[in-house]
Amino acid sequence: MELRHTEVTTPAPHPPAPADRHDRVDCRRVSQVLSRIGDKWTVLIVRSLGDGPKRFNELKRLVGGISQRMLSLTLKNLERDGLVARTVTPSIPPRVDYELTDLGHSLQAPVDALGEWALKNMARIDAARDRFDQAAGE
């Protein structure tokens, strides 16, 4: 028996159709936006700014448990994304106010709906967690 090289060809993979590439790019971009607006601090800040401008320390008091650094970082990211406007009033010391932009106000209704949903369903979620933990033997 003689061994010879056998050429095996496999079809070249087809490049994704333009629509497929477009969908993946859109998914990544949507994912980035959702990670920003789905962040717990973003939700709480948007809800806190919903009834008007607030100063930094006022926001810090309203958003319980947030560190000064995290509040500063989240506000900066929200400003970058066009959801929050920062206004500096020249005075001694300078006054800085944060408020929702038109885009930020358009996010208020979905954020409020999520917050209301969470409040309405907390007991059911706690019960489900208890059942899961008991079944897992914790």
**pTM score, whole prediction:** 0.70
User: Cα 54 to chain center, whole Å?
Assistant: 21
Residue-level pLDDT at 11: 56
In the predicted model, is pLDDT for residue 2 greater than 60?
A: no
The beta strands (E) that lie in 44-134 are given as 54-55, 84-89, 95-100
Closest CA to 52 of 91, 87, 76: 87
Q: By the 8 A CB rule, do 69 and 75 touch?
A: no
* Average pLDDT value for the chain: 84
Task: Provide the 3-class DSSP secondary structure of residue 15.
Answer: coil
| pLDDT value at residue 14 | 54
Residue ranges per domain, the chain? Answer: 20-135
Between CA 130 and CA 127 the distance in angstroms is 5
pLDDT of residue 26: 78
Please list the residues that pair with 65 across neighbouring strands.
none
CATH topology of domain 20-135: Arc Repressor Mutant, subunit A (1.10.10)
pLDDT given at position 21:
56
